[in-house]
């Protein structure tokens, strides 16, 4: 670049609460990607951003610089409008799996570049890899070909997309700056804009099982991402949705694939179906496709798209999914009503069973996880199954029970109370809390 800056001066500027110039931002992202700015210097800058924030202009320029650090995909050869969905992550959030084939069956193309799970939240690629033979790594030519012929693809993002973000994300993970709204927003949007779709729908989770627990913070993140999209000329809409209880019943990779197939077959939990259909409607509306996802789902066309998608990536849609060798039920000791169901505790227990990873290089179990058979407000009888735990070894099962806690005391994954005290049931968040789009 023509103009050179000093990393220390840039850190000081942001530390003292001043705005960075567009030229400073472009220089520091480029220099960091090339290794000119040291990790400890970018750590200091990330912490300064964490405390001081960014104004909309800074955020737009920061995101733009991260996009320019790598390649941009081009789907001009795909004979359908392209639209993607991104979720900020949660427990039992398998929505991508039924959503992509549903939107494809409606007539749009969905290039769903996905990631892996970390901590208590599941990763879409980990779920899909439970299908025998399915592969996540595709070339750009393969992605374009599958989009043109099938209409939907779920795959890993290429190494060339926003490499600055990949470097910065790893740094944020070890410097306690993950929760910064500007850094979250720019991280998500740099990859999604570089992906090159015509439109994007964001599913911003809130509640105890989400990264943004506070609904106001979730709305702030949604507005930031919508604003970035508008600055780049991308049609973006954000939904703020509930993650206080797990989505659906299944938490864990193969279990969530099975539940997704159930939705595509016309069944499945009501909350998973509702969110899938709602997101599909918004995606189709943004790209001008006139189709009713409810009718398409009922027709079986989405299931046909799913099977084609899985085959196109080497998977066998008819192959049995992995099954854990140890399966145990947690049962109600007496009659009662479910007062609460903690998404974070369920997610942690599923992670402990092997369904998630503590570090990005860790392996995950395809078969481990939890089936959550009840929701707050459900009445149960003595002996009714509440949870079904799927584990590969007894030691993990023991640790998962410790994570779940007691059914009789507050603080556990599930809390039961007397049937005559329905007033004690914790009121849940509405599934769809807000819809945010640019003015």
Segment 16-36, tens digit of pLDDT? 999 999 999 999 999 999 999
What is the mean predicted confidence (pLDDT) over 395-403? Answer: 94
Contact (CB, 8 A) for 229 and 79: no
Structure tokens of 390?
Answer: 């799927």
Examine the residue annotation and report whether 165 is marked as an active-site residue of this protein. Answer: yes
What is the mean predicted confidence (pLDDT) over 47-62? Answer: 96
How confident is residue 263, by pLDDT bands cut at 50, 70 and 90? very high
Percent above pLDDT 90 for the chain: 81
Q: Which residue is it, tokens 């392996």?
A: 363
pLDDT at 262 exceeding the cut of 90: yes
Round the average pLDDT of the chain to a whole number and report it: 93
The pLDDT of residue 120 is 62
Segment 289-303, tens digit of pLDDT? 999 999 999 999 999
How confident is residue 361, by pLDDT bands cut at 50, 70 and 90? low
Examine the residue annotation and report whether 172 is marked as an active-site residue of this protein. Answer: yes
The pLDDT of residue 413 is 92
How confident is residue 93, by pLDDT bands cut at 50, 70 and 90? very high
The pLDDT of residue 363 is 78
Structure tokens of 166?
Answer: 């990949």
pLDDT at 365 exceeding the cut of 90: no
Higher pLDDT, 103 or 355: 103
| Nearest C-alpha neighbor of 370 from the set 129, 122, 88, 203 | 122
How confident is residue 117, by pLDDT bands cut at 50, 70 and 90? low
Examine the residue annotation and report whether 231 is marked as an active-site residue of this protein. Answer: no
Active-site option among 116, 191, 235, 249: 191
Active-site option among 126, 165, 244, 342: 165
How confident is residue 1, by pLDDT bands cut at 50, 70 and 90? very low
What is the mean predicted confidence (pLDDT) over 328-344? Answer: 93
The pLDDT of residue 360 is 65
The pLDDT of residue 2 is 43
Active-site option among 61, 86, 219, 249: 86
What is the mean predicted confidence (pLDDT) over 338-354? Answer: 92
Segment 178-199, tens digit of pLDDT? 889 999 999 999 999 999 999 9
| Nearest C-alpha neighbor of 302 from the set 268, 349, 344 | 268
What is the mean predicted confidence (pLDDT) over 268-293? Answer: 98
Segment 215-259, tens digit of pLDDT? 999 999 999 999 999 999 999 999 999 999 999 999 999 999 999
Name all domains of the chain by residue range, CATH numbers in brackets: 7-53 (1.20.970.10), 83-319+432-437 (3.40.1030.10), 326-424 (3.90.1170.30)
Active-site option among 172, 235, 390, 396: 172
How confident is residue 391, by pLDDT bands cut at 50, 70 and 90? very high
What is the mean predicted confidence (pLDDT) over 376-393? Answer: 95
Active-site option among 43, 186, 187, 190: 187
The pLDDT of residue 3 is 63
Percent above pLDDT 70 for the chain: 96
What is the mean predicted confidence (pLDDT) over 421-433? Answer: 90
């Amino acid at each position: 670049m023509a103009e050179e800056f000093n990393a220390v001066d840039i850190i000081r500027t942001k530390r003292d609460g001043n705005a960075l110039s567009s030229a400073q931002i472009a220089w520091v992202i480029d220099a960091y990607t090339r290794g000119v700015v040291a990790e400890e210097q970018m750590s200091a800058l990330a912490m300064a951003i964490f405390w001081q924030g960014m104004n909309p202009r800074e955020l737009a320029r920061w995101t733009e610089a991260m996009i320019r650090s790598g390649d941009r995909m081009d789907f001009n050869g795909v004979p359908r409008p392209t639209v993607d969905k991104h979720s900020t992550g949660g427990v039992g959030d398998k929505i991508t799996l039924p959503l992509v084939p549903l939107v494809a069956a409606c007539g749009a193309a969905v290039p769903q570049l996905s990631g892996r799970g970390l901590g208590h939240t599941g990763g879409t690629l980990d779920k899909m890899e439970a299908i025998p033979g399915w592969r996540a790594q595709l070339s750009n030519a393969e992605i374009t070909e599958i989009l043109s012929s099938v209409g939907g693809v779920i795959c890993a993002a290429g190494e060339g997309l926003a490499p600055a973000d990949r470097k910065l994300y790893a740094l944020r993970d070890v410097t306690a700056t993950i929760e910064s709204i500007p850094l979250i927003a720019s991280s998500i949007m740099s990859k999604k804009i570089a992906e090159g779709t015509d439109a994007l729908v964001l599913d911003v989770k809130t509640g105890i099982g989400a990264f943004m627990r506070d609904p106001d913070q979730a709305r702030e993140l949604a507005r930031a991402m919508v604003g970035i999209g508008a600055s780049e000329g991308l049609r973006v809409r954000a939904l703020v949705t509930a993650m206080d209880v797990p989505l659906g019943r299944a938490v864990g990779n193969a279990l969530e694939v099975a539940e997704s197939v159930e939705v595509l077959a016309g069944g499945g939990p009501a909350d998973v179906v509702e969110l899938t259909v709602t997101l599909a409607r918004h995606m189709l509306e943004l790209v001008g496709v006139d189709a009713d996802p409810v009718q398409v789902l009922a027709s079986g066309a989405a299931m046909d798209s799913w099977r084609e998608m899985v085959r196109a990536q080497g998977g066998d849609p008819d192959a049995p999914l992995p099954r854990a060798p140890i399966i145990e039920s947690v049962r109600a000791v007496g009659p009662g009503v479910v007062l609460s169901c903690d998404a974070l505790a369920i997610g942690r227990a599923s992670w402990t069973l092997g369904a998630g990873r503590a570090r990005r290089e860790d392996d995950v179990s395809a078969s481990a996880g939890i089936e959550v058979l009840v929701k707050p407000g459900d009445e149960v009888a003595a002996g009714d199954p509440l949870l079904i735990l799927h584990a590969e070894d007894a030691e993990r099962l023991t640790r998962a029970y410790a994570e779940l806690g007691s059914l009789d005391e507050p603080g556990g994954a599930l809390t039961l109370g007397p049937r005559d005290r329905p007033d004690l049931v914790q009121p849940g968040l509405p599934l769809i809390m807000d819809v945010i789009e640019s003015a």
